[in-house]
């Protein structure tokens, strides 16, 4: 589904990703962990198509297409979802209208008829129930005045609505409160299927108590320096990152 080969990316001539290799197959859940400043968020930004970062080498395919050649919106329409895909606040535009436009754009890309108002509302009710989102969030303007936790819940709702093939969730460094953590974990687990994959990016192990990954990777100084099963997350929780830093110091 996703194949990343020797990906290098820089900003202002500073190389941040220094040769990332990663393969994600349908049905898999991967966790990317690592100390602050390793390049975790940079990796998701590059995959999203954020133009701040310059890809200086390497290749990424998504569903056998050259991902880096696609415009950001086409990456989304191909079924890639990034947790900060819609981080902006849009006063005056309700979540309902915003999501209806987004869902119908995705449908159009797949040559499917747009949802009628009642079909859309039905879908929204189902997904809200599935991910346990309070109804008042979706009546408000997009992200306007949302708390960090509410934005995170909203993202999970957007993810449920858009039914991506691959979701990349970057847990912000500020972390999530217990309630938001539960919603994120719950959403990911409920949306999991044999055809869809998830990459969870996290600094801390605690999210992985709730979302059990098939693979855990440690990103350090722009490279994946270690990959293993879920036990690696527990080892990191216990021992911290110092041993990784010592082992892979330049
Ligand atoms: P992580 O998510 O693992 O904490 P980031 O990807 O946010 O790491 O950051 C990796 C490195 O890239 C850091 O040294 C950070 O300072 C640098 N970096 C990230 N974004 C920018 C930016 N917009 N301008 C300059 N440096 C940046
Ligand atoms: Mg950081
Ligand atoms: Mg980060």
DSSP assignment of 115-163, as one string?
PPHHHHHHHHHHHHHHHT--HHHHHSEETTT--HHHHHHHHHHHHHHH-
Q: How confident is the model at residue 84, as a pLDDT?
A: 61
Least confident among 57-71, 87-101, 111-125, 156-170: 87-101
Distance 110 CA to ligand 3 centre (A): 32
B/e letters for 207-225, b = 16+ CB within 10 Å, e = fewer, are bbeebebebbbbbbbbbbb
The residue with greater pLDDT, 194 or 96, is 194
What interface predicted TM-score (ipTM) does this complex get?
0.95
Q: How many CA atoms lie within 13 A of 174 on its CB side?
A: 7
**CA 146/CA 218 separation, integer angstroms:** 31
Distance 38 CA to ligand 1 centre (A): 7
Least confident among 61-65, 94-98, 149-153: 149-153
Residue from 35, 38, 50 to probe ligand 1 pocket by mutation (most atoms less than 8 Å from CB): 38
Residue nearest to atom 6 of ligand 1 (CA): 39
> Strand pairing partners for 80?
166
Tens-digit pLDDT profile for residues 159-174: 999 999 999 998 765 6
Q: Among the atoms of ligand 1, which is closest to the Cα of residue 45?
A: 6
Residue nearest to atom 19 of ligand 1 (CA): 42
Ligand 1 neighbour 54 (Cβ under 6 A): no
Q: How confident is the model at residue 111, as a pLDDT?
A: 95
Q: How many CA atoms lie within 13 A of 202 on its CB side?
A: 26
Q: How confident is the model at residue 186, as a pLDDT?
A: 87
Q: How confident is the model at residue 173, as a pLDDT?
A: 57
**Average pLDDT of the residues in 186-192:** 88
Tens-digit pLDDT profile for residues 195-238: 999 999 987 778 888 888 999 999 999 999 999 999 999 999 88
The maximal CA–CA distance of the chain, rounded, in angstroms, is 58
Classify 59 as helix, strand or coil.
strand
Q: How confident is the model at residue 174, as a pLDDT?
A: 61
The percent of residues above 70 in pLDDT, for the chain, comes to: 96
The percent of residues above 90 in pLDDT, for the chain, comes to: 56
| pLDDT, mean over the chain | 89
Domains and CATH numbers, the chain: 2-248 (3.40.50.300)
Residue from 20, 38, 42 to probe ligand 1 pocket by mutation (most atoms less than 8 Å from CB): 42
The residue with greater pLDDT, 92 or 85, is 92
The residue with greater pLDDT, 179 or 18, is 18
CA of residue 150 relative to chain centroid, distance? 16
**Average pLDDT of the residues in 154-162:** 89
Question: For 59-62, which contacts have Cβ atoms below 8 Å and span 24 or more sequence positions?
Answer: 59/3, 59/4, 59/5, 59/6, 59/7, 60/2, 60/3, 60/4, 60/5, 60/7, 61/2, 61/3, 62/1, 62/2, 62/166
* Listed ranges 106-115, 123-132, 197-206; the one with the highest mean pLDDT: 106-115
Classify 89 as helix, strand or coil.
coil
Ligand 1 neighbour 174 (Cβ under 6 A): no
Q: Among the atoms of ligand 1, which is closest to the Cα of residue 219?
A: 3
What is the pLDDT confidence band of residue 130, given thresholds at 50, 70 and 90?
confident
The residue with greater pLDDT, 76 or 248, is 76
């Amino acid at each position: 589904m996703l194949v990343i080969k020797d990906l290098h990316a820089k900003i202002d001539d500073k190389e941040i990703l220094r040769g990332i290799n990663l393969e994600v197959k349908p049905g898999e859940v991967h966790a990317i962990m690592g100390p602050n400043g390793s390049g975790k968020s940079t990796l998701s930004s590059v995959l999203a198509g954020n133009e701040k970062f310059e890809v200086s080498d390497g290749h990424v395919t998504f569903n056998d297409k050259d991902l880096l050649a696609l415009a950001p919106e086409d990456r989304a329409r191909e079924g890639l979802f990034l947790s900060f895909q819609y981080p902006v606040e849009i006063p005056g535009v309700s979540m309902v209208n915003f999501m209806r436009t987004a869902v119908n754009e995705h449908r159009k890309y797949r040559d499917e008829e747009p949802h009628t108002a009642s079909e859309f509302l039905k879908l929204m009710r189902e997904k809200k129930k599935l991910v346990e989102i309070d109804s008042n969030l979706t009546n408000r303007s997009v992200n306007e005045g949302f708390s960090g936790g509410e934005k995170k819940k909203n993202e999970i709702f957007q993810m449920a609505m858009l039914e991506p093939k691959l979701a990349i969730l970057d847990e912000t460094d500020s972390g999530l409160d217990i309630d938001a953590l539960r919603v994120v974990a719950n959403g990911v687990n409920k949306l999991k299927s044999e055809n869809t994959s998830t990459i969870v990016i996290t600094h801390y192990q605690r999210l992985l108590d709730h979302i059990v990954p098939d693979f855990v990777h440690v990103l350090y100084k722009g490279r994946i320096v270690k990959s293993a099963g879920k036990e690696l997350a527990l080892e990191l929780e216990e021992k911290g990152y110092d041993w990784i830093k010592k082992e892979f110091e330049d």
